[in-house]
Structure 1
Amino acid sequence: MLIRGFMLLVLSVFTLHLGAKQLHDEKYYQTHQVQNLAVPDDSLHFLVLGDWGRNGHYQQVPVADMMDVVMYQMDGEFITTTGDNFYSKGVASVDDPYWQTSFEQVYHGPNLFKDWYPTLGNHDYAGNWQAQIDYTQRSRRWVFPAPYYAKTFAAGDNSQVLILFIDSNPLNPEYKTRAKYASTQTQDSEKQLRWMKEKLANSTAKWNIVIGHHPLYSSGKRYGKTSGIQQVLEPIFEKHKIDAYFAGHEHDLQHNRAQGKTVEHFVSGAGSELRPVGQREFTQFAKSEAGFLTVSVNDNNLLVQFISAVGQRIYHYNIHKD
């Protein structure tokens, strides 16, 4: 009887503690919301994070905490990455402790347990990139079926969003002659380009988005050094009139639009470490501030919002289609 009474007491205390924690969590999310965040009705909501896996260092933890808040606020459906998921040399295997210290234990907020759709960056190729594909079998939320892949999502009442998650590393001409990036050339780049063209040519989705690692335009460190990958991808993007390209690689937040071009270019690479950024001839917005992007898509609008690690909406841009 004494043991049973003690166990009931422990259970009661645990239940009270759990209830108090749930109440605290609800209050926390209500008081930490981004005040001017737009949450359009009947929309597909997701986040775009880039250049992030640094064992919790730099700004990775505050960015992760704010992502949790925004996913709660928007009722977000999934999270995408623009690559460089693990610095500085990727992961060694599916059992690498980095999975815990750079991913599982950092993005532990309850609202971050949604599907994650990653892409590969150049630093991921410095390790065992195949292990990032294989971790899909270990994780409920890490969904990475192949180096490049496509998914279609419902948005609004009658619309669809096609997203191509590409591997821009083997497509980058700069990497073809540099020993440092030899591992990126194990992929068949021509096969991927044929796949991209076919997917976009046959798309019946109202919205077409591409997510990769290398930006075609940069207002940051690599300003003037993106012409190689630009010449490979821009003709495809412009021909098929995609709506937006999201990249990383630069450790900042950017929105670029080249004169005479139709595609909107966004950079989300501020998931942890930051670098300086400037104002260029094509810059619509650029800031060296830790954060991520939100994307909301419905029948007539694709809204991109730039969210800082301290919970401010620092920029937004809307693409409208009748």
Structure 2
Amino acid sequence: MRAVTMIFLILGMLLVHGTNAELQRFEHPTKADGSLTALVIGDWGRKGQYNQSEVAYQMGVTAEKMDVDLIISTGDNFYPGGLSDVNDPAFDESFTKIYTAPSLQQQWYTVLGNHDYRGDALAQLSPVLRGKDGNWFCMKSYILNTDVAEFFFIDTTPFQDKYFNDPEDEVYDWRGVLPRDKYLSTLLQDLESALKESRAKWKIVVGHHTIKSAGIHGNTQELVQKLLPILEANDVDLYINGHDHCLQHISSSDSPLQFLTSGGGSKAWRGYYDWPNAKEMKFYYDGQGFMTMQIAGGDVDINFYDIFGNILHKWSASKTFFSQI
């Protein structure tokens, strides 16, 4: 299966969608029955500390039980300041040597978080890292096609004004992002076009930053203003993110869109919660853990797990699809 997946990825790298190389399309095979199982983790890269190793162990146990096909990282892959370069030992110390379970030796589809931008952001995109560990795959923005769902990975860090106006004495690697306005407008246009063209059974958008969150970072207003209307207008089913170090499920009052946070890969327990609408808040856990997603035809099942493998929250949805002639 790994060899087949790599062939799909290599072929996908040759298929550039539109004029923006950030939105290349890649393919990942489903199981023989057409189903797909993914594990989702975010905010993890701390060289095993803050219970990262313990979360990784439980991820391996759960992934084996569920026969996981791929793993999604919602960003902040390496703390505190990303990677210094492609030879940074943190890559091995926080990734290869931590997620060692056989069941986790699948393709990891990752995006960059704000902490990743504080180092050499381009290092994480380099084929050098894929050469070191074939499980690793990272781009700023891209599309992953499967037979049952389409995943749109979006680079959310450049949307936030504060990283440009009030950088908190941090230096960010904006290579490939500047001029910012053009970068964001092109990304949004290409995303909107791709979503309109999509005939996927399930449309899933993945980014690092929250759109809606009761955690300490709260809503990301720039995404609420610029990204959310595009997701709602194009019938996106799930928005999956990290950034807040918690597990969370918020249901939209305005559309079927669900907001799912999986940012409990290591340091957590912020002790903060603020959400005014009790009907929207389906689940909040201020601790470490991860999320799984099973998609089979018109059914999707989401589970949130804590560090001990307990299922804290379940959510399911179904659709009826008609074949198109």
**TM-score bucket (shorter structure):** 0.7 to 0.9
**Mean Cα deviation higher: 163-172 or 44-53:** 163-172
- Other-structure match for 2:156: 168
Q: Which has the larger radius of gyration?
A: 1
8 Å CA contact retained: 1:89, 1:124 = yes
- Other-structure match for 1:9: none
SS of 1:64's equivalent in the other structure is: helix
Query: Counterparts of 2:131 and 2:160 in 1: how far apart (Å)?
Result: 29
Letter in 1 for 2:75: G
Letter in 2 for 1:167: D
Is 1:253 the counterpart of 2:247 in the alignment?
A: yes
Query: Counterparts of 2:299 and 2:162 in 1: how far apart (Å)?
Result: 36
Q: Give the counterpart of 1:314 among 303, 312, 317.
A: 312
Q: Give the counterpart of 1:90 among 82, 86, 105.
A: 82
Letter in 2 for 1:54: R
**Mean Cα deviation higher: 135-144 or 227-236:** 135-144
Is 1:228 the counterpart of 2:225 in the alignment?
A: no
Offset of 1:182 from its aligned partner? 4.8
Q: Give the counterpart of 2:52 among 60, 68, 77.
A: 60
| 1:133 to 1:182, Cα distance in 2 relative to 1, 3 A | closer
- Other-structure match for 1:294: 292
- The total of aligned residue pairs comes to 275
**Mean Cα deviation higher: 201-210 or 128-137:** 128-137
- Other-structure match for 1:191: 186
Letter in 2 for 1:315: H
Is 1:285 the counterpart of 2:266 in the alignment?
A: no
Letter in 2 for 1:61: S
- Other-structure match for 2:208: 213
Offset of 1:185 from its aligned partner? 7.6
Following TM superposition, the consecutive aligned residue runs of length 4 or more in structure 1 with deviations greater than 6 angstroms are: none
Partner deviation per Cα, 1:200-259 (whole Å, 9 max, x = no partner): 011011110000001111111123x52222111100100001000000000000001232
Is 1:150 the counterpart of 2:143 in the alignment?
A: yes
Cα RMSD (Å) of the superposition?
Answer: 1.6
- Other-structure match for 1:6: none
| 1:279 to 1:319, Cα distance in 2 relative to 1, 3 A | farther
SS of 1:305's equivalent in the other structure is: strand
Offset of 1:277 from its aligned partner? 4.0
SS of 2:222's equivalent in the other structure is: helix
Letter in 2 for 1:79: I
Is 1:132 the counterpart of 2:127 in the alignment?
A: no
Q: Give the counterpart of 1:240 among 231, 234, 237.
A: 234
| Residue ranges of structure 1 left out of the alignment (5+ in a row) | 1-40, 155-159
| 1:231 to 1:215, Cα distance in 2 relative to 1, 3 A | same
8 Å CA contact retained: 2:159, 2:222 = no
Partner deviation per Cα, 1:72-96 (whole Å, 9 max, x = no partner): 1011001010000000100111111
- Other-structure match for 1:105: 97
Query: Counterparts of 1:182 and 1:231 in 2: how far apart (Å)?
Result: 23
SS of 1:143's equivalent in the other structure is: strand
Query: Counterparts of 1:294 and 1:81 in 2: how far apart (Å)?
Result: 12
| 1:242 to 1:105, Cα distance in 2 relative to 1, 3 A | same
SS of 1:183's equivalent in the other structure is: coil
| Residue ranges of structure 2 left out of the alignment (5+ in a row) | 1-32, 178-182, 321-325
Letter in 2 for 1:82: T
Query: Counterparts of 1:198 and 1:259 in 2: how far apart (Å)?
Result: 25
SS of 2:273's equivalent in the other structure is: coil
Letter in 1 for 2:258: E
Offset of 1:139 from its aligned partner? 2.3
Query: Counterparts of 2:255 and 2:196 in 1: how far apart (Å)?
Result: 19
**Mean Cα deviation higher: 175-184 or 69-78:** 175-184
Partner deviation per Cα, 1:10-57 (whole Å, 9 max, x = no partner): xxxxxxxxxxxxxxxxxxxxxxxxxxxxxxx85210101000001110
What TM-score, normalized by structure 1, do the two folds share? 0.82
Partner deviation per Cα, 1:286-313 (whole Å, 9 max, x = no partner): 0112110000001111111001110100
